[in-house]
């Protein structure tokens, strides 16, 4: 099978304390269609830097990134956002506070169009948005609520729906449940897993939660000091215990 995303010898060097430091230090990674890869690593291991390099928010110092065989290493964030979507840890990122839930969904659905065109045709889409949110206790009947009035969990659920509404080629989840209370976090994680499997999405999910890391996904990688020090396939991951993972931290 051909990889959807291929990262080849990715290095990101920063100048810190009078010396060069490789915060990504020769990352090689092939992500295949429908992979759901959990990414673990201590604070400062380079997880967010890796996601930034994939989205184009931060360019590599050297190395290449290919998406479907197309070299995207030099493509900017806006161009890549047509294929790659990301949900952040902070519920305030990713949604427009002064717009309603429905308007935010419409913006996401029409991503790629100029902003003035993206907000047209709300009425035509309202039934679809009702359907999308109807089984979600957090967002049901909230389509006309301004996003700034939503709780953190509701905003994160909305951010997640916005990230998947156009079926991205690659979905990046950057500790997207970490800021939520345990119950809400678990609900969003269940929704996340269900949608990824149902839609056949390809996903890279950063988490610090070892229980989540064991339970979800078909692959698991561990980052340490800018390197991938562990890359487990489906069978290896299925046999994994939390205790095994603790040894890497």
Ligand X SMILES: Nc1ncnc2c1ncn2[C@@H]1O[C@H](COP(=O)(O)OP(=O)(O)OP(=O)(O)O)[C@@H](O)[C@H]1O
Q: Closest approach of Cβ 235 to ligand X, in Å?
A: 27
If binding is defined by CB under 6 A, does position 43 make contact with ligand X?
yes
Rounded to an integer, what distance in angstroms lies between the CA atom of residue 170 and that of residue 27? 18
E strand or H helix that includes residue 153: helix 152-164
Q: How far is CA 29 from the centre of its chain?
A: 16
Strand, coil or helix: what is 127?
helix
Among residues 28, 44, 113, 137, the one that binds ligand X under rule CB under 6 A: 44
Say whether residue 41 binds ligand X (CB under 6 A).
yes
Q: Which stretch binds ligand X (CB under 6 A): 36-44, 65-73, 131-139, 195-203?
A: 36-44
Nearer to ligand X, 19 or 43 (CB): 43
* Residues between 48 and 67 with contacts to ligand X, criterion CB under 6 A: 48-49
Bridge-based pairing of strands 70-71 and 62-67 is antiparallel
Interface positions, 7-26, toward ligand X (CB under 6 A): 14, 16, 23
| Nearest residue (CB) to ligand X, 46 versus 153 | 46
DSSP secondary structure string for all residues of 22-91: EEEEEEEEEE-TT-EEEEEE-TTSSHHHHHHHHHTSS--SEEEEEETTEE-TT--HHHHTTTEEEE-SST
Alpha carbon distance 223, 131 (integer Å): 39
Distance CA 159, CA 150 (A): 12
Q: Which is nearer to ligand X, 128 or 227 (CB)?
A: 227
For ligand X, the closer of residues 59 and 118 by Cβ is: 59
Interface with ligand X (CB under 6 A), residue from 31, 37, 45, 162: 45
Which of 48, 147 has the CB closer to ligand X?
48
The C-alpha angle 191, 57, 20, rounded to 5 degrees, equals: 120
Is 47 a binding residue for ligand X by CB under 6 A? The answer is: yes
Interface with ligand X (CB under 6 A):
14, 16, 23, 41, 43-49
């Amino acid at each position: 099978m051909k990889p959807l995303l291929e990262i080849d010898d990715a290095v990101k060097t920063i100048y810190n304390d009078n010396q060069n430091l490789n915060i990504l230090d020769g990352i090689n990674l092939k992500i295949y269609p429908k992979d759901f890869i959990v990414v673990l690593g201590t604070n400062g291991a380079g997880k967010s830097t890796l996601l930034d390099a994939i989205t184009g928010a931060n360019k590599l110092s050297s190395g290449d990134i290919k998406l479907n065989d197309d070299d995207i290493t030099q493509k900017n964030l806006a161009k890549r956002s047509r294929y790659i979507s990301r949900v952040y840890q902070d519920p305030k990122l990713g949604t427009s506070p002064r717009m309603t839930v429905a308007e935010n969904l419409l913006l996401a659905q029409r991503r790629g169009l100029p902003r003035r065109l993206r907000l047209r045709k709300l009425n035509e889409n309202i039934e679809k948005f009702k359907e999308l949110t109807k089984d979600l206790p957090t967002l049901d009947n909230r389509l006309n609520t301004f996003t700034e009035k939503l709780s953190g969990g509701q905003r994160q659920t909305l951010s997640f729906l916005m990230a998947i509404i156009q079926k991205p080629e690659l979905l990046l989840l950057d500790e997207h449940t970490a800021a939520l209370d345990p119950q809400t976090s678990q609900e969003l994680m269940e929704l996340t897993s269900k949608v990824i499997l149902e839609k056949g999405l390809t996903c890279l999910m950063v988490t610090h939660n070892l229980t989540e890391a064991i339970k979800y996904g078909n692959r698991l990688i561990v980052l340490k000091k800018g390197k991938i020090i562990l890359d487990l396939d489906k069978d290896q991951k299925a046999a994994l215990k939390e205790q095994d993972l603790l040894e890497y931290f």
